[in-house]
Amino acid sequence: MGVADLGLPVDVPSTALFTDHYELTMLQAALRSGTAGRRSVFEVFTRRLPDGRRYGVVGGTGRVLDAVENFRFDADVLRFLRERRVVDEPTLEWLAGYRFGGDIWGYPEGEVYFPGSPIMRVEGSFGECVLLETVILSILNHDSAIAAAASRMSSAAQGRPLIEMGARRTHELAAVAASRAAYLGGFNSTSDLAAGFRYNIPTVGTSAHAFTLLHDSERDAFQAQVDSLGRDTTLLVDTYDVAEAVRAAVEIAGPELGSVRIDSGDLLLVAHRVRQQLDELGARDTRIIVTSDLDEYAIASLAAAPVDAYGVGTQLVTGSGHPTASMVYKLVARAGSGDAGAPLVPVAKKSTGGKTSVGGRKWAARRLDAYGVAEAEVVGTGPVPDALAGRQLLVELVKGGEVVAREPLDAARERHAAARANLPLSATQLSRGEPVLPTEYVHRGSGS
C-alpha cells in the first residue's frame, strides 16, 4: 500500500540530506576499509522517560516509513556533496545507487514504551543503516514527544474533545507533524489546514479577536459571523465584557447558538458563570470551549467545570515541557566479517554518566498479570520464552527495502487508546512518579 492508496495528497520529497555530515564520512571510511557491507543491527531506544512521566508513546512511525522510502541521492544532492567535498568520488558513486534494502522492525505506531524498549530495529549493511540515523531520530523524537503530551492531555480531558491549535507556536512544517502526533495521542481535530490536507485530520475554526475588533461593535461582529457561518458557529465572547457578549450572542443567534469560546481570565470561574447565564437565556445546548495556554494540569483542574471542549496550542507542540523523547540510535550487533552467513556479535558502548547501552539484537514483550493488565516490559536477546511468545511487541515494518506495514492514522490512534487502557490505572496520574511498568532484561544467547 502506497501513500496514494491512503489518499494522502502530498508526496514526500527526497530525505537524503536529512542526515548529519559525519554519517557520510563514516560511510566513506567504512567503504575504504571494507566494513561498510557488514551485516549490522541498529536499535532506537531511550534510556529514560522525561522526569515524572509514567509512559512514552510511539509517534511518527508512518512518517519514518515515508522518509526511508524517499531517502534517495538525486543529481542535485550529489552535486552539492561533490561541490562541498563532503565525501570522495567512490562514495558518491555508491550513494547514487542508494536504496535501503534491509529490514525494519518496530513497536507499531501508537504503542506505549518504557526505558530500554527497542522501539525500532534497523537491519542491513552498516553503510545503508548508518545513513538513516538522523532522519529516523528527528522524526521519532519529535512526534513521540508530542504524542505523549497529547495522550496525557486527552486522559486529563476525560472524553471531552480536544482541538490542536499550535501551528503559530512552532515551525510551519513541524506544526503539521505535531498535529498528526496530537491526533494520534487522542486529540479530535486541528486548526492547521495543512495537517487536514495531508493527513485527513478534521479541521475546525471560526474567528479570532481581530474579527471582533474589526467591527464597530461586538454585536456587529457576531451578526456578521452568524449571517455567514450560521447559528451553529462558535462566538468568541471575551474581547470586552463576557456577560454582555454572551447576552448579545444568544440574542443574535438564539438558543441554537453552537458554542461560545473563552480565551482568558479565570477559566474555572468564568465557565461556571457563562454556563449559568446560557442556561438562564435558554441556550442550554450551547457548548463552552476554553482556550488560553492550557496543558494537562490546567485541563485536569477544569474537570469539574461545565466545559465541553478544550483548545490547546503552545504546550502541546512543545511537548508540554519535554519537546524531545531523548531517543538514541545505537549499533547493538554486527557481523564478524563481510560474509553473508557470518554470525552477529553483540556490541555496546562502555561509558560513564548514564550513556550505557545493552548489546545484542533484541525482542520485546509485555507481560500481563492475572487480570490482563500489563505488569512489565520484558526485553531480551536470543529465543523468546514460550510464555511471552504471544505478547511480542515488535512488528515488521520494512522487508527487503519494501514497506509492508503502512496504515491509516486512525489505526494508530485506536491502537494507542487500547494500549493506554491496558496499563495500570496509575499510568494516567499527573503526579510525578516512576515509569508505570518496570523494564526487565532477559539474555539467552547472542540474538543473532
Determine the pLDDT at residue 9.
44
The amino acid sitting at 222 is F
Determine the pLDDT at residue 4.
45
Instruction: Please report, in tens digits, the pLDDT of each residue of the chain (448 residues total).
Output: 444 455 544 455 689 999 999 999 999 999 999 999 999 999 999 999 999 899 999 999 999 999 999 999 999 999 999 999 999 999 999 999 999 999 999 999 999 999 999 999 999 999 999 999 999 999 999 999 999 999 999 999 999 999 999 999 999 999 999 999 999 999 999 999 999 999 999 999 999 999 999 999 999 999 999 999 999 999 999 999 999 999 999 999 999 999 999 999 999 999 999 999 999 999 999 999 999 999 999 999 999 999 999 999 999 999 999 999 999 999 999 998 888 889 999 999 887 666 778 899 999 999 999 999 999 999 999 999 999 999 999 999 999 999 999 999 999 999 999 999 999 999 999 988 899 999 999 987 654 5
Strand 259-262 relative to strand 162-164, pairing: unpaired
Determine the pLDDT at residue 3.
46
Determine the pLDDT at residue 55.
98
| Residues 6 or more apart whose Cβ sits within 8 Å of residue 183 | 150, 164, 190, 195, 199, 201, 409, 413
CA of 286: how far to CAs of 250, 305, 334, in Å?
9, 15, 62
Distance between CA 289 and CA 37 in Å, rounded?
57
Strand 162-164 relative to strand 309-312, pairing: parallel
Distance between CA 43 and CA 242 in Å, rounded?
54
Strand 395-399 relative to strand 374-381, pairing: unpaired
Predicted structure pTM score: 0.93
Determine the pLDDT at residue 432.
84
Yes or no: say if 186 and 410 are a contact pair by the CB < 8 Å rule.
no
Burial class (CB in 10 A: 0-12, 13-18, 19+), 13: exposed
Determine the pLDDT at residue 342.
92
**Element holding 413 (H helix, E strand):** helix 409-421
Yes or no: say if 335 and 40 are a contact pair by the CB < 8 Å rule.
yes
> What sign has the CA pseudo-torsion 235, 236, 239, 244?
positive
Determine the pLDDT at residue 1.
47
Determine the pLDDT at residue 25.
98
